[in-house]
Structures are given as C-alpha cells and as structure tokens.
Amino acid sequence: MSCKLSRQSLHMVSSGGRGLYSLSHMNISGLFYPSTAEADAAQAKANKMNGINTPEVVGSISLPRPSVHYEPFSPSNSNPHSSMNMFALFGKNKILCSDAMGYTSVYNKRLHSFLGMPMLNSPKGPKRIVVYIPRTAAHAKSDFEIDPNTESDLFIEMPHGDHNDSLYIMDMVSGKPCCFEALIYYPVGHWRWRPLLPPPFLRNPEYKAPDNTAFAVVDGTKICVSSATATYLFDTVDRKWSKAGDWVMPILSNAEYVPELRLWIGLSASSPFNLCAMNLSNTAVGTSDVLPTMQHIRLDVDPPKDWLLKKRTLVNLGYGKFCVTKFFESIANKVVVFTGVEMVTSGEGELGIRAVKHKSECVVSDNIEYVL
C-alpha cells in the first residue's frame, strides 16, 4: 500500500507570551515510509535490534518559521484578561481563531489572507469541542423550511467554494448564555454565528463539565457527544438532539472516521499510548443501550523514564493515516513527538484492524499549544 495523504502539513500554534501566538506548518512527509510494507520491515528490524517493540524517533527537527502572527483583538491594556484562547481547523486550509472576548477571524493558508468574522454569541472556555461539518443541500433546504426568507435556491444544488464550510463550537460548561453555536455562511452574503439548542445533559443539576469530552461526526451530518453516563446525537440538518444510548465512547476527545475501513479511530481514554477503533454506523439509526463494537489497538510506546506525558492529540491525514502528537515534560526541557500511524485491515481483534507505526520526529519546545 502506498503512502497516500489528503493533506501535506500540520498546523502548529505556538505561544509567544503576552497573549501573542504564531502559526507554523510542518511537512508531514517525513513521518511516513513510501509504503506500508517498508514501515513493517523497518519496525521488524528495530524490534530485532532492540529486543522490544518500541518506536524509533528518527530525528529531531526545528520548529518551522511562522507564516503569520496573532495578537488579541482587544488590547491587553484595556482588558487584562485578553488573550487568544481558541484555534480550530476550519476546512482544509483555514484556521479559525478567537480571543477570550469572543472576537473571531479566519486565516486562509492557501491565500495567505485574513477574513474578519462576527463575534461569538458567547466566548467559549477551555472545556469545549469544535466540529467541522461541510454544508449540504439538505442543510439549505432545512434553512428554507425554518426561515422562508433564506434564499435557498442559491444553495439548493450544492454550496460552492469556501461557503459550504460550517464550524460547530460547544462549551461543555453549563450556565453560559449561548453554549452551542455554529459559524455558517448565509446566501444573502454574510457569515453568522447561529445559536443552537444546548445538549440535554447540560440541564441536569448534577452535571459537571468533564476534563475530556468524546465526540465524533456520524453519517456526515450528526455530531455524536458523550457525557459522563450517556451519548447523544445532534442532527445539524434539523437542529435537534436525540439520545444514542446509555454508553460512553472510550476515547480522548475526537474520533475520526476512516471511509476505507468504515470505522472511527480515536485515542484511547484508558491507556495513554493506545488507539481505539469503533463502529458507530448504527448510532445514527436510533437509541441503543448496547455499546458499539470496538477494538483497543496497542502502539507499544516506551518513552525515556524521565519523560512525563502531559497531553496527546490525533490529527486525521486521510486514507487511514494519522499523526499522533505527544507532549512530554522532562527535567531538562519539554519535547513534542510526532508519530505517523497507519490503520490497515488484518485478522486481528474484534474489528480486524491493526496499527502500523511509520516514523517519529520530535521538536524541543515549550511553546507549542495546538496541533491542527
């Protein structure tokens, strides 16, 4: 199998202090061998030499030069709490940023340009989820049925260009004036943050915002979100919530859909270095108390003993390939390790898949905060 990717770079957001941030882009070609067979051969050779199945950090790289710098929209001298507190991938080439006051803008990497956006209805805190969903003709039809003044005929066939992008942001802390909203382009010619119904579990008086929220996109238009005890679905077309079942997705943050495998892949919430594959295909059909079929997949990472894992993220690179980013702290410095991973079919486990580790690269930096 060849090393096919749907994108060529990772976007890294680094803090420069005093509310300043910079955006740089890392070429991901160095994280993958030309083929799956070469990756397997390299891992087998490393196992034979080391006697244990550990990944090989093939090199240390420098942080790429920034392509753009950010500062809060409201000056810090007028607002001491002003800072950039949210960065999110918005489509293939765009990054949305927001400060603590709710001012937003979008940077287009391809065009090297900024576009000012409306303010959020309510600023979002650190306990949030951000979900990108392309708009469809079904979204436009629903808009017209809810609001006939919407010129749906402009979108009824298919939205064009960047205007079919939409971004959903949900604050998992209850009590906010607007905890859930979406950035959507209207045919009349402007972007707007649309307030949406909050998830049902936020109304529970005993609800406490979790440190981690598991979520995924199911059926292309439904956002699947787990609370501490159950999982719910938000249909972005009819804008309604429903309960998927009394079970919780055992993943850390986002699960990414792999069409080639018809499975969702995420970081395991129970094991710091493993992945979790799930079959959520039946989740959109109706409520079920049966936990979806899943498979925990070992990556067998063995970092140096003085390295303490602080954070990890998963970025979908397309065609079953991912970048697993691990943030470590040691006595001497902070290290960020990027590992290329490929999911392939096999006869192993409940879902018949396995993970192929390719290459790893590391950056010594204490400033990287987001990897998108």
90-148: pLDDT as tens digits: 998 899 999 888 999 999 999 999 999 999 999 998 999 999 999 888 887 777 666 66
State how far Cα 182 lies from the chain centre: 16
The percent of residues in the chain predicted with pLDDT above 90, rounded, is 60
Residue 162: what pLDDT? 58
pLDDT in tens, 4-16: 889 889 999 999 8
Q: Is the pLDDT of residue 27 over 60?
A: yes
User: Domain of 262: which CATH number?
Assistant: 2.120.10
Q: Is residue 1 assigned to a domain?
A: no
Q: Does 2 fall in a domain?
A: no
In a domain? residue 185: yes
* Residue ranges making up the domain that contains 35: 9-371
**Domain membership flag for residue 125:** yes
pLDDT at 327: 96
Torsion of CA 69, 73, 77, 83, to 10 degrees: -70
d(CA 92, CA 162): 10
The pLDDT of 198-214, averaged and rounded, is 91
What Cα–Cα distance (Å) separates residue 134 from each residue in 65, 130, 204, 293, 322? 31, 13, 31, 27, 21
CA distance 226 to 249: 6
Whether 269 is in a domain gets the answer: yes
* 310 within a domain of the structure (yes/no): yes
Nearest to 253 by CA among 200, 297, 313: 313
- At 108 the three-state DSSP class reads strand
pLDDT of 151 strictly over 60: no
For the chain, what is the domain count? Answer: 1
- Does some domain include residue 24? yes
